[in-house]
Structure 1
Amino acid sequence: MSALDRLGKLRSRLDRAVFFANVLRASKVVQPIRPSGIAHFVNSARSTKLGPHLAVMFHAAAHPDKEAIVEYDGTRVRRLTWGELDATINRLAHALVARGVRGGGRVALMLPNGSEYLIAQQALARLGATAVQIGYRLKANEIAFILENAEPGATIVHAEYLTAMRDARKIVGKGGQMLVVGGDVKPGDPELEEYDRALAAASPEMPPRLKGGDGGGVIVYTSGTTGKPKGANRSWRKTGFESVADMILQVGMRADDRHLVTCPLYHSAAPAFVAIMMSLGATIVLQNHFEPEAALDIIQKERVTCSLMVPTMLIRMSNLPKETLAKYDWSSLRWVMSGAAPLSTEAARRFMEQFGPILWNFYGATETGLVTLAGPHDHVSRPGTIGKKLRGNEIRLLDDNGSQVAAGQVGELYARNPTLISGYHGNDDATKSSQRDGFFSVGDVGRLDGEGYYYLESRKHDMVISGGVNIYPREIEDHLSTHPAILEAAVIGVPDPEWGETLRAFIVLRNGQSLTETEVVNYCREGLADYKRPRKVTFLAELPRNPTGKVLKRELRDYPA
C-alpha cells in the first residue's frame, strides 16, 4: 500500500470518528453516569456478545429510574423504567435458556404491539439467538410456511393467537416449548407455560454467556405482495450503523425523545426505529392498535415528540374532521417519519398543511436497511423525491442488461451498504437473483436528477407496457391523489387484445365526495399524456393492503372486470 493510500485511509477513519462524535453530541446520548453504574454495565457486558443490545444495557445502568416504555393497551397503561426493563429482559433470557434456547438458536415471536415484544427481542439478543417474527394476522397455513422455513426451537405467542399457532405446528409437525402471553394455561400441557409464571420463577440477573451463534439477529418475512414471503435474515454482528447515525444527525433524534410506535412490530421498520430510539435512551410509547384520534390523544397525554407512520396512517390523521383535530395538542411533535410504502406528494402536503413541516421520508427495505432520506422541504421543492442517499450507501440504477442508466433515465435501484441482510433464510436462489456484484434490489424502479435526489417510479413488476410504451403507475397514482375528492388511488395494468395492456384505476373517495368514471378519466387526460389515462375506473371503500400499508395489487388484478 502506498503512502498516499495510507493517508487516504487515515483521513477516512478520522472523518468517521468526527462524524460519530457529532452524532453522540447532537443526540445528547452522553450524560453523567455514576461510577457504580459504569461498573454494573461493564460486568453485564462481559456476559454477552457485541451488538446493539449493549446500548439498552448501558442506559439501564446509567439511568435505571428513567421511563423506558409506556404501553397503551385498550384502557390499560403500563409503565416500565429502564431498570425494570433490564431485569425483565434478564428474566425472560433465563426462562428461554431453561427451555433449551442457545446461542445461534431461533425463537418464533407471534405477539401484538406490546412490551413483551420489545423484551423478547432484547432477551434473544443477549443470548445471541435469532428472533423469527410472525405476523399476528396470519392464518395457520401461512404460519406453517414460516415454521417450516425457519425451524424455530421455541415460541413466544399471545393467547389470542395460540389456536392458529397450534394448528400451524400440527401441519408441519414441529414442536418445541411455547411461552403464552396474556392467558391462562391449563396445567399438565408439556408444550405450554404461562409467560408471567415463567418470568416470575427466573432470575433478574444477567444470564451467563452462551456458546454458539454470532451475536443474534432477526428473520423478518417479507410482505409477500408478489408471492410467497421470503425470510430476510439479518445478523446484528454483521450490521453497520453509518446510515442510521446519519439519519439520527439529520433528523435530530435525541435521548430525550418520546417515540410513539403505531406500526406493527413484527415487520421491519417499526422495530428498527424502536431499536434506534432505545439505543439513544429515548422513551418508547406503544399504541397496541392504530386509530388516528387515539394516537392524537396519546401524543397529547405523553408529550410525544416523534413517530414512524406509514402513508396510510398519515392520510387518516390529516383526514380527521377539523373539530376532532381541534381537541388535541400535538405541539410536542418534532418529527414524523414516513416509510414502508410510497409517500405521495399530495399526502405529504396535506399532512404538513395540518401538522407543520415535520414530515421526513426514508427509502429502504427489509433487505437493504436505510438507503435515502428526504426532509420536510424536499417534498415541496422536489415533488415525489425519496431524497439523497444516506452515508455508507452506494446506489446503482441499472437497465435489464445490468448497465447503469444515464442521469434522468429510469432503472432498477440496487443498493450496497453495511446494513444489507446476509440473505434469504433457506433460499439461496432468491438471494442470488436479487443481487448484482454485491448490490441488492427489491425490484423498485427509480431515477436520479442532476442534484443527487432520487425518485421512485414504481415496482418493476408493476410497470405497464401499453402499445410498446412503458408506463409507471406511480406517476398516475400521484396525479390522481391531487384531486380534492380522491383520498387514495391505485393503478394496475390489465390485459388488452389490441394494446397488450391498458390501465385500470381503483379509487377511494373522501367522505361525502362523489365522482364518475368519466370525471376521473378526464382529470388524467387534463394533466397527463393521453396514453396514461385509465380505460377503466373502479370505486372501492378501501384499498386492499398488507399490515405495513403496502397496496396488494395482486388482489386488485383478481378483481372482477
Structure 2
Amino acid sequence: MVKRFNTDRLEDALKAAWQGKEKSDCIWWQGEWWSWERLEALITDCEEKLRASGFGMGQRIAVLLPNSPMVLALSVACWRLGGAIAPLNARTGAVNLIDTIKMLDVNAVVLTDEGHKKAAGEGFPSDIPLVPSPLEGPLPLWRSRQGRPECAETSVIFSTSGTSGLPKAVVCLHSNMLGNLAPIKKHVPGLLDEDAVFLNVLPNFHTFGYNVAGMLPLAFGVRQAVVPSFVPVENTIKAIEEAGVNRVIAVPTIMAFLLGALAKKDHHIKGVTHVITGGDRLNVQMEARCREYLGVGILEGYGLTECSPVVAVNSTEADKKLGTVGRPYPDYQIEIRDREGNMLDLHQEGVLWVKGPSVVPGYFRDEKNTEERFRDGWFNTGDVVQIDADGYIKIVDRATDIIIVSGFNVYPQEVEAVLCAHPAVHAAVAVGEKNNVAGELVKAFIVLNEGAEVSAKELMSYCRERLAHYKVPRKIGFVSEYPISPAGKVLRRELRKMKIEKQ
C-alpha cells in the first residue's frame, strides 16, 4: 500500500502540507492569490461559527455553493469538528433537492444569498436552517438542527443519481480520500511538482472535481486556480492564463467546449504540462486538437464516486495508450467477473470489480443498494472492461448501457467510434430502443461538425461497411447538443426516450 500521509485525517494532512509556507500562494480566486494563512483564517472563522451553531461530532452540513474559498474552508472546518460536508448542485436549488437534503439529515444548508432568497420564497421547510454565505466569507451566525450522528470518520458525502436516476449518497471516509490521493504523485510523475498550478473548475459536488482538482493540490502543498463556473468559457480561458494554470483536470465535455473556443479564435495556450480527463469516455480524436491548442496530449483516467474516485489513469505521454484509461493504482485488487458475479480470467472481457483503501464502505443509510454493489470489501463497478497484457484497462461499456440485439451484445462505444470517424461527425451517442422482434435496436444521435452536411442514410451506409449488421444503427437523429448531467456526463437515459422517425 502506498503511504504518503502521516495522518488518517484530511485536515491534518492539509495543515502539514502548508507548514513552513503559510504565506505562500495557495489559491487563486477572482484575480488575486490567497496565501494558506488567509485561507486558514477563513477556516478558523467557519469552525467557530459552526461550533456556535451546535454543529459537532458525526453531524453533516449541506453546501450549495459554486467553487470558491468558502467550499474549501467549510470542508476543513467541518472535519476539525468531527463532522462531514455534503456538497450539492447549487444550480438545482435547495427546494428541488429537498428529498436529498432530508435523506442526508443535515444540520443546515449553506448557500448563496440568491439561493437563500429563492428557497425561502419557494417554501423551503422551516425546520432546516438556511445559511446565506458570501463566497469569500464570513459565515453569519445561526442555530443548527441536530441530525442523527454518524461515524466521525466520514469526511464527504456525495449524492449521485447513478445510472438509474434514483438518488444515492456515497459515504467517503477520511481514509478513502487520503487513500486515493496518496498514489497519484508516483503514478503520474511530475503532476505534483512545486511549479504546479491546478485548474479547479469542475463542480465541487462531483468527487472528481472536489477531490482531484481541489483537495489534491491542497494536500500536496501546490497551487490551484479556483473558478466558480466553466461558463462562459472565455472566463475560464482568462483564469488559466492569468493564474498560470499548467495542470488541467477536466471531463471530456468541458474539454470539447474549451478546445472549440480556442480553435474558433486560433488561440494557443502555452505552459500546460498535464491534461487529465475522467468522468466520461474520451473521444480519442480530441487528442490532436489538444496538442494543437494546449501543447500537450490528454491522459485519460477512470474512476467512480464509490472509489473516491480514481481507479486508473494513463501515467505519462510516453507510455500512455490511447483508447485506454491506463493502469490501475497499485493499491487496488482487481477481479473480472461475469454479470452473475462468477470469476473470469483477468484478461477476459467482463465486469470490473475492485477492492482497496479508497473503496467506500457503502451508501448513506441505504442497506439495500449497499448490499447490491458491495460484497466483502469488493465493489461492483458495473463497467465492462478488457485488460491487456500490460495491465491497461479499456472501458468497453457500462453493463447497463450495453444494447442487446437478438441476443447479441452491442457496445455503444464501438458504434460511436465508427460514427465519429466520419469527417462530417463531431460527436455521436448510441443507445438502445426497444423492439418487439429483436428486443432492442441501435439508434444514434449525431452532432455534426460546423458547416458539415450528411444524411442519416449516408451514415447508415458508412456503418454497414464497418460494422456487423446487428450493430448498425437503424435510426439516426441529428441534435445540436446532448442532454448533459450537472457533472458533465451525457444522459443516455434521456436519449433513450427521444423519438426518431423511422428512416
TM-score normalised by the chain length of structure 1 = 0.81
Query: CA 1:140 to 1:116, structure 2 compared with 1: closer, same or farther past 3 Å?
Result: closer
Partner of 2:106, secondary structure, is: coil
CA distance in structure 2 between the aligned counterparts of 1:426 and 1:240, rounded to whole angstroms: 20
| Correspondence for 1:534 | 473
The letter for the 2-side match of 1:100 is: G
State the partner residue of 1:309.
250
Trace 1:280-299 onto structure 2 (pairs within 5 A).
280-290=220-230, 291-299=232-240
Which is helix-richer, 1 or 2?
Answer: 1
> Is contact 2:59–2:107 with CA below 8 Å preserved after alignment?
yes
> How far apart are 1:106 and its partner, in Å?
0.6
The one-letter code of the counterpart of 2:330 is: R
Tell me how far apart the structure 2 counterparts of residues 386 and 282 of structure 1 sit (CA, whole Å): 25
**Letter paired with 1:137:** R
* Residues 141 and 300 (structure 1), Cα distance of their counterparts in 2 relative to 1, 3 Å cut: closer
Are the counterparts in 2 of residues 140 and 167 from structure 1 also a CA contact under 8 Å? no
Give the match for residue 68 of structure 1: 26
Equivalent in 164, 167, 176 of residue 239 of structure 1: 176
Equivalent position to 1:182, from 134, 137, 145: 134
- Structure 1's consecutive aligned runs of 4 or more residues displaced over 6 angstroms after TM superposition are none
- Aligned residue number for residue 53 of structure 2: 99
Structure 1 residue 522: Cα displacement:
2.0
Instruction: Tell me, yes or no, if the aligned pair for 1:346 and 1:478 is still in contact at 8 Å.
Output: no
Name the stretch that deviates more: 219-228 or 464-473.
219-228
Q: 2:306 aligns to what SS in structure 1?
A: coil
Structure 1 residue 344, shift from structure 2 partner? 2.4
Determine the C-alpha separation between the residues in 2 that align with 1:59 and 1:448.
36
CA displacement at 1:400 relative to structure 2: 2.1
Q: Residues 366 and 128 of structure 1: is their aligned pair in 2 closer, same or farther, counting only changes over 3 Å?
A: same
Relative to 1, partners in 2 of residues 1:160 and 1:53: Cα closer, same or farther, differing over 3 Å?
same
2:377 aligned to which of 420, 435, 438: 438
Aligned residues: 489
**Aligned match of 2:409 in 435, 459, 470?**
470
What amino acid sits opposite 1:325 in the alignment? Answer: D
Q: Is the 8 A contact 1:143 1:165 kept in 2?
A: no
1:64 counterpart letter in structure 2: E
Q: Distance in 2 between matches of 1:145 and 1:551?
A: 24
Structure 2 contact 45–138 (Cα < 8 Å) conserved: no
Q: 1:145 is paired with a residue of what secondary structure?
A: helix
> What percentage of residue pairs aligned between the two structures are identical?
27
Deviations 1:444-490 (A, max 9, x none): 11121222111111111111110110111111112222223222211
Map of 2:390 onto structure 1 = 451
Q: Greater CA deviation, 278-287 or 478-487?
A: 478-487
Q: Which residue of the partner structure matches residue 257 of structure 1?
A: 196
Provide structure 2 residue ranges, at least 5 long, that are not aligned to the other structure: 143-148
1:275 to 211, 215, 238: 215
1:336 to 2:275 alignment: yes
How far the C-alpha of 1:406 sits from its partner, in A, is: 3.2
1:249-283: CA deviation from partner (whole Å, max 9, x where unpaired): 23222233111112111211111011111111111
**8 Å CA contact 2:354, 2:381 repeated in 1:** no
Provide Cα deviations, 1:11-35, integer angstroms capped at 9, x if missing partner.
x8xxx57xx5xxx9xxxxxxxxxxx
Per-residue deviation at 1:376? 5.3
Q: Does 1:133 align with 2:87?
A: yes
The offset of 1:50, in angstroms, is 4.5
Distance in 1, matches of 2:417 and 2:402, equals: 15
Greater alpha carbon shift after TM alignment, 250-259 vs 279-288: 250-259
2:310 to 363, 370, 375: 370
Amino acid at match of 2:62: A
CA offset at residue 551 of structure 1? 0.9
* 2:114 is the counterpart of 1:160: yes
CA distance in 2, matches of 1:240, 1:508: 37
| Distance change (3 Å), C-alpha of 1:175 and 1:111 | same
Taking the aligned partners of 1:264 and 1:417, their CA distance within structure 2 comes to 26
CA 1:241–1:119: 2 relative to 1, 3 Å = closer
2:43 to 65, 89, 108: 89
Quote the offset at 1:80 in angstroms.
1.6
What is the rounded CA distance, in whole Å, between the counterparts of 1:409 and 1:160 in structure 2? Answer: 52
CA distance 1:391–1:532, shift in 2 (3 Å): same
> In the alignment, is the contact (CA less than 8 A) between 2:433 and 2:443 conserved in 1?
yes
* 3-state DSSP of counterpart to 2:86: strand
1:230 paired with 2:168, answer yes
CA contact (8 A) 2:70 2:137 kept: no
The CA deviation string for residues 153-207 of structure 1, in whole angstroms up to 9 with x for no partner, is 1221112222454478745x6423x321239xxxxxxxxxx953638x9xxxxxx
In structure 2, the partner of 1:41 is none
Query: Which residue pairs with 2:491 in the alignment?
Result: 552
CA distance in 2, matches of 1:144, 1:218: 19
Over alpha carbons, which structure has the higher Rg?
1
1:375/1:507 CA distance change after superposition, 3 Å: farther
Give secondary structure in 1 for the equivalent of 2:404: strand
Counterparts in 2 of 1:373 and 1:223: CA distance versus 1, 3 Å? same
Aligned equivalents of 1:55, 1:495: Cα separation in 2: 51
Per-residue deviation, residues 391-410 of structure 1 (Å, max 9, x unmatched) = 10011111023222235532
Separation in 2 of the partners of 1:322 and 1:212?
Answer: 49
Match of 2:465, SS? Answer: helix
1:240, distance to aligned residue in structure 2 (A): 6.5
Q: Counterparts of 1:404-415 in structure 2 under 5 Å?
A: 404-415=343-354
What is the SS of the residue equivalent to 1:161?
helix
Partner residue, 2:145? none
Instruction: Give the AA of the match of 1:245.
Output: A
Question: What residue in structure 2 maps to residue 32 of structure 1?
Answer: none
Shift of the alpha carbon at 1:289?
A: 1.6
User: In structure 2, do the counterparts of structure 1 residues 310 and 490 end up closer, same or farther at CA, with 3 Å as the change threshold?
Assistant: same
Paired letter, 2:228? N
Give the TM-score, by structure 2 length: 0.90
Q: Does the 8 A contact of 2:445 with 2:479 survive in 1?
A: yes
Report the residue type matching 2:202 in the other structure.
C
8 Å contact kept, 2:273–2:296? no
Counterpart residue identity of residue 414, structure 1:
W
CA contact (8 A) 1:258 1:305 kept: yes
Change (3 A) 1:343 1:246: same
Q: Does 1:394 align with 2:322?
A: no
Is the 8 Å Cα contact of residues 430 and 445 (structure 2) preserved in structure 1?
Answer: yes
Of 80-89 and 442-451, more deviation after overlay is shown by: 442-451
Is the CA contact (8 Å cut-off) linking 1:256 and 1:281 kept in structure 2? no
Separation (CA, whole Å) in 2 of partners of 1:317 and 1:547 = 17
How far, CA to CA, are the matches of 2:250 and 2:262 in structure 1? 19
Instruction: From the superposition, tell whether residues 486 and 421 of structure 1 become closer, same or farther in structure 2 (CA, over 3 Å).
Output: same
Mapped to 2, the partners of 1:85 and 1:138 lie a distance apart of 28
Amino acid of the residue matched to residue 295 of structure 1? T
